[in-house]
Amino acid sequence: MKWLALLINLPTRPTRHRVAAWRKLKRIGAVKLKGAAWILPDLPQTCERFQWLVGEIQSAGGEAVLLRVERVETMTEAEITALFHRDRAPEYEAVMREIRAAAAQGDRAAAGRRAAPAALVRRLEALAREVDRLEAIDYLASPLGRRVRAQLEAATKRIRSLTDRSGGERRAQARGLPPSGSTWVTRPRPHIDRIASAWLIKRFIDAEARFAFADPVDAAKKGVPFDMPGVAFSHQGDDCTFETLMKRAGLRDRRLATIAEIVHEADLADGKFSRAETPGIDLAVRGLVATLGDDTELLERGMAVFDALYAALARRG
């Protein structure tokens, strides 16, 4: 195993910068060695997370040095692995307690021949997002993490069997779509694929959907991640996120298929499609990104662009 080592030095005042850096290091799963060194396995996603943090530390007036390390001479790999497992254990244990409590509530509903409350289903969905978040930073695959995942899957299967859902929501769940009213989370400063995907979700998948922004480490904790590395609703194979969502939702609409080609070409520029509308739509979205500083407003104004495009394609016939 090769490692990334981050050496940081932040001013003692104000303390908020030191506290913020410590919290972010913990959130990305870094482990602290003696002194001021934090380590992660040398992987593409960990390098990106450390580089992002380096920029934040430097912006706060601190110093940060990122190193690639062949080995830690004073520790065995087993000892380093134990440190990573130790740091993940309290979070996994907290989730395990929540899963057991939810399962017990489901058992009480079953004993009384009652359907599982909708709030209990939402609770399990939130726990599933937390487990996803922990697994994303559990780089050395803690055995406790595997136990938590198994318990979650068993509890979810049991409670869903007790839930009385509407036919529409059952169909959505069968396709692996989140329940109505979910919060969908993507990276800040959305561009064409993320804006178009949000529009597709709101107009054709879930009219009650809400949207939020977070860095990839925190996204699963805040809602349903989309257009992020390693999540279900993102680029899959040759498809952009918009195309992935269309397939998962089973949408068969000629105008949406045209928009999918426009978004794919603007986002990936891989030569797969050639649509005359692409440069204009891409330029309009880039103009919004350049002039709007608020991401929520950017998303709303961008979605209006796709409302207009969808309407224009209907008139074309």
Determine the Cα–Cα distance for residues 219 and 223; give it in Å rounded to an integer: 6
Q: What contacts 215, CB < 8 A, 6 or more positions away?
A: 52, 187, 188
Low-confidence ranges of the chain (pLDDT < 70): 112-117, 163-175, 315-317
Q: Nearest to residue 267, comparing CAs of 224, 234, 308? A: 234
User: Where is the domain boundary, 108, 134, 164?
Assistant: 164
3-class DSSP assignment, residue 80: helix
Determine the Cα–Cα distance for residues 195 and 80; give it in Å rounded to an integer: 41
pLDDT of residue 130: 87
190 shares a domain with 152: no
Q: What contacts 63, CB < 8 A, 6 or more positions away?
A: 8, 9, 10, 57
Q: What is the DSSP string of 21-73?
A: HHHHHHHTT-EE-STTEEEEE--HHHHHHHHHHHHHHHHTT-EEEEEEES--T
Domain membership of residue 212 (yes or no) is yes
3-class DSSP assignment, residue 8: strand
37 shares a domain with 146: no
68 shares a domain with 83: no
91 shares a domain with 58: no
pLDDT of residue 166: 42
136 shares a domain with 66: no
Number of residues that make up the chain: 317
pLDDT of residue 158: 80
Domain membership of residue 276 (yes or no) is yes
Domain membership of residue 122 (yes or no) is yes
Q: How many domains does the chain fold into?
A: 3
- Dihedral of CA atoms 197, 202, 204, 205 in degrees, nearest 10, equals 90
Q: With the C-alpha atoms ordered 143, 160, 181, 190, is the resulting torsion angle positive or negative?
A: positive
In whole angstroms, how far apart are CA 168 and each of 173, 208, 249? 9, 14, 12
pLDDT of residue 133: 85
148 shares a domain with 31: no
148 shares a domain with 114: yes
3-class DSSP assignment, residue 9: strand
pLDDT of residue 316: 60
pTM for the structure as a whole: 0.55
192 shares a domain with 304: yes
Give the angle 63-68-72 at the CA atoms, nearest 5°. Answer: 105
Sheet strands side by side (includes 31-32): 31-32, 37-41, 3-9, 63-69
Q: With the C-alpha atoms ordered 295, 63, 20, 99, is the resulting torsion angle positive or negative?
A: positive
Other Cβ atoms closer than 10 A to 283: 10
Determine the Cα–Cα distance for residues 190 and 228; give it in Å rounded to an integer: 11
DSSP strand pairing (210-213 vs 224-225): unpaired
User: Where is the domain boundary, 110, 136, 164?
Assistant: 164
85 shares a domain with 64: no
Q: Nearest to residue 182, comparing CAs of 194, 193, 198, 195? A: 198
pLDDT of residue 111: 73
- The domain that contains 50 carries what CATH number? 3.30.70.240
Domain membership of residue 177 (yes or no) is no
Domain interval for residue 220: 183-316
